[in-house]
Chain A
Amino acid sequence: MDQVLLIGKPNSGKSLLFNRLTGLNQKVANFPGVTVEVKNGEMDGVKIIDFPGLYTLDALTRDEEVAIENLKKSFEGNPSIVCILDATRLERSLVLGLQVQELAAQMNCPLVFVINMMDVILNNKINFDLKELEKKLGSKIIPISAKSKVGLVELKDTIKKMVNFPQEFSVVSDPERLGQDHVKTARDYTQKWGPKGDVILKKQGILDKIFLSGFLGGVVFFLIMAFLFQAIFTWAVPAMDLIEEVIAQLGTYVGGLVSHTMLKDFIQDAIFGGLGSFLVFVPQIFVLTFIIGILEDSGYLARAAIICHRPFSFFGLNGRSFIPFLSGYACSIPAVMATRTIESPKKRLLTIFTIPLMVCSARLPVYALLVTAFIPNTMIMGGFFNSRGMVFFGLYLFGIVTALIVSAVLSQTTFKKEADSPFLIELPPYRVPHWKPLIQKAFTSSAQFVTKAGLMIFTVTVVIWVLGYFPHGADQLDSSWLAWIGKKFEWFFQPLELDWKYGVAIIVSFLAREVFVGTLGTMFGIEGADENIAGLADNITASGMSLGAGISLIIFYSIALQCVSTLAVIKKETGSFRFVIYQFLFYMGLAYLLSWMGLHLVNYFF
């Protein structure tokens, strides 16, 4: 199939043009470990490839290196080149445009320029000499407005002509230009024949004054973030419940077709249970990807990153780490996927590393159980605060504080040598987001999660089910292989004053944190402990566990990376098994250390 490469600087309307040309018939390719995305689409039998926006062909960051390498490789197949220029920022567009044109000349690829945002130029009655510019550049320039769909027919026809008659669009090097640097040439051409005036800038400036200064900016920021948080924390829940319900029903149905007990249990609990354990995350991933897409497309995300930059960079993080952290309070999985907006590899890795410390919603039942069992329900500070409520708040605070400290330390140690990129951004224009491509992007993200992370989650779920089931079958967890393992490793948990029952519950909750409650209940011989936390809490208190041991368990739970789904997603996003193993062991060690300290400190003082 004939190939066309779509190249342009960021914020030039390239994505919209790509969508208009390919009609959402797209596939996205990700490169592991970097945030680079290349989109493939089809238009009337021609393959169109959309590369990430670039300012220049001289790479500064690792992401850019990967993108530019790929771009240059793609030129080898003699594709046709469509290079987008932004009429409202022509000088900047030409800096890349001239480089691309030169590369096309070297590699013998036909090229055509497209000048976008012509609607703005015409609306503001700005004049410029397109014909002369075209003559000077030596390649055809097609004026369009991807937004108003103007000029697209001519562009499509030109593209088809270009793939069939490449010689008509071949690029000849201009001897005058040879040796002169692109920035000077771009400036020269724009000043002589390009549009004048800072029209857009004035309008955008007004909005920036609102969103970025002082009190109003802070209020807007807070409202938007509260909205985002609610969306993943609360609104995705009905869909999650629906998925769990449907899978459970399906499991019962299919299991009912089989009479052999073990096979029935395997189908219902291992297979369908395993499926459910990762499909349940899809609604949150979908919602978060969609909302972040809206924020990014509208131009607001860049402003939010500016607001958060200073406080976060103290700890080695980035302004763009804020949204992933916030999302982590609902669930780590979509939060880790949200780190794709962080351009600096070092800051992205640090963010991914520390997200699991946020108190995700799966931990709440566990905290509810442990707080009920160990913290007395008293009112403190003159009846204004409840001691249990305070501990909960303290745990939320503990999460973010630990994350910032860990990040600050690791940015100077383990991650010190990682590639970083400085904070220099061209502010994107404010615009109304196009929701259709964002819905599709949300679907793609969810699908990628299911296919890439799903397998690992599913496998671990089945393995733990097998260990917990044999040799005596369901509901005999305390005499299973898993219990045997728990008893064998009791020495590991002994310094924390936890017996083998807790060891088993901790191992099993590696699958999904909230499973801790049900499993511990089973260990104590209580059915349906998730519904009756108070009953289990009484059992725990009655078992004579000290306050110190209770606190140490809470601390352990706050830090240890117990969630195979999170590990699977991190492996997928970083492309590195080593990272995941290091992270897991790091938190295991830190959790153990702080739990042990907590145990002894509490027992000493109380």
Chain B
Amino acid sequence: MKPKFEGGNMSLWKLKKNQKAQITGFSKDLDIKFKKRLIDMGIYENGHISCFLSTPFSGPRLYSVEGTMLSLTSEIARNIQVKPLS
């Protein structure tokens, strides 16, 4: 089930290449332990994130966050709520 976000928010997976965004929350479906790990790795509320690269066949994408490059699959990125910065 794909989580839905409102109010100008969208899922991280929808972020286009080179598009910057601010992280605004997480979907309720996200496992707590896993949410903690995302925070530990630099994906936390009010932090900034941008999509660096996408791979063919909906493979994992590269995201630049707080000076680190992370790779996430769609299953994870869909549960992260972001607000694009223009």
User: Footprint of B on A, CB under 8 Å?
Assistant: 55-56, 58, 60, 88-89, 91-92, 95, 183, 187, 198, 201, 204-205, 208-209, 212-214, 302, 306-307, 309-311, 313, 422-427
**Does the CB pair B60–A306 fall under 8 Å?**
yes
Which residues from chain B contact A204 at a C-beta distance below 8 Å?
69
Report the minimal beta-carbon distance from A428 to chain B, rounded to whole angstroms: 9
Chain B, 72-86, CB within 8 A of any chain A CB = 72-73, 75-76
**Does the CB pair B39–A309 fall under 8 Å?**
no
6 nearest interchain CB pairs? A310-B59, A427-B69, A56-B40, A423-B73, A310-B57, A425-B71
How many Å lie between the Cα of A204 and that of B34 in the bound state?
27
Which residues from chain B contact A425 at a C-beta distance below 8 Å?
70-71
**Does the CB pair A92–B64 fall under 8 Å?**
no
How many Å lie between the Cα of A591 and that of B66 in the bound state?
53
Chain B, 16-40, CB within 8 A of any chain A CB = 33-34, 36-40
A423-B69 in contact given A58-B36, A92-B42, A183-B44 (Cβ < 8 Å): no
Which residues from chain B contact A201 at a C-beta distance below 8 Å?
64, 67-69
B8 within 8 A of A: no
User: Footprint of A on B, CB under 8 Å?
Assistant: 33-34, 36-42, 44, 52-53, 55-60, 62, 64, 66-73, 75-76
Which residues from chain A contact B39 at a C-beta distance below 8 Å?
183
Report the minimal beta-carbon distance from B18 to chain A, rounded to whole angstroms: 11
How many Å lie between the Cα of A5 and that of B59 in the bound state?
38
Which residues from chain A contact B68 at a C-beta distance below 8 Å?
89, 92, 201, 426-427
**Does the CB pair B42–A212 fall under 8 Å?**
no
Q: Could you say which of A55, A183, A311 has the most chain B C-beta atoms within 10 Å of its C-beta?
A: A183
Which residues from chain B contact A307 at a C-beta distance below 8 Å?
55, 59
Which residues from chain B contact A198 at a C-beta distance below 8 Å?
64, 67
Which residues from chain A contact B44 at a C-beta distance below 8 Å?
183
Pick the contact of A424: B56, B64, B71 (CB < 8 A): B71
**Does the CB pair A95–B62 fall under 8 Å?**
no
Which residues from chain B contact A183 at a C-beta distance below 8 Å?
39-40, 44
Pick the contact of A426: B33, B55, B57, B69 (CB < 8 A): B69
Which residues from chain B contact A60 at a C-beta distance below 8 Å?
33-34, 37
A212-B55 in contact given A89-B68, A91-B42, A91-B67 (Cβ < 8 Å): yes
Which residues from chain B contact A426 at a C-beta distance below 8 Å?
41, 68-70
**Does the CB pair B53–A208 fall under 8 Å?**
yes
Interface CB pairs A-B, < 8 A, 11: A55-B37, A58-B40, A89-B68, A204-B69, A205-B64, A306-B55, A306-B62, A309-B73, A310-B60, A424-B71, A426-B41
Which residues from chain B contact A187 at a C-beta distance below 8 Å?
66
**Does the CB pair A424–B41 fall under 8 Å?**
yes
A423-B53 in contact given A60-B33, A89-B68, A205-B69 (Cβ < 8 Å): no
